[in-house]
Amino acid sequence: MQIIILENAEQVASGAAQWVAEVIKQKTNPVLGLATGSTPISLYKQLVEYHQKGQLSFENVTTFNLDEYHNIEAENPQSYRTFMKQNLFDHVNIDQEKTYLPTCRNDQNPRVQGLAYEEQIKNAGGVDLQILGIGANGHIGFNEPTSSLASRTRIKTLTKQTLQDNSRLFKKDEYQPTMAMTMGIATILDARYVLLMATGKNKAAAVKQMITGPVTAMCPASALQMHENAIILIDKDAASELTEQEYFQWANQEHQKINQTFGLFI
Task: Give the H/E segment covering residue 112.
Answer: helix 110-123
Q: Which of 5, 12, 65, 67 binds ligand GLP (CB under 6 A)?
A: 67
* Residue of 68, 118, 128, 144 with catalytic role: 144
- Position 30 contacts ligand GLP (CB under 6 A): no
Task: Give the H/E segment covering residue 2.
Answer: strand 2-6
Catalytic residue list contains 235? no
Catalytic residue list contains 49? no
Q: Is the dihedral of CA 41, 68, 70, 141 positive or negative?
A: negative
Q: Read off φ and ψ for residue 174, nearest 5 degrees.
A: -85, 140
Query: Residues 126, 189: contact at Cβ < 8 Å?
Result: no
Nearer to ligand GLP, 178 or 259 (CB): 178
- The Cα–Cα gap between 68 and 181 comes to 5
- Closest approach of Cβ 95 to ligand GLP, in Å? 24
- Closest approach of Cβ 7 to ligand GLP, in Å? 19
Q: Which stretch binds ligand GLP (CB under 6 A): 10-18, 30-38, 55-63, 103-111?
A: 30-38
Binding marks (x or -) toward ligand GLP, 127..156, rule CB under 6 A?
Answer: ------xxx-----xx--------------
| Interacting residues with ligand GLP (CB under 6 A) | 35-39, 66-67, 133-135, 141-142, 162, 166
Which residues are designated catalytic?
Answer: 67, 137, 139, 144
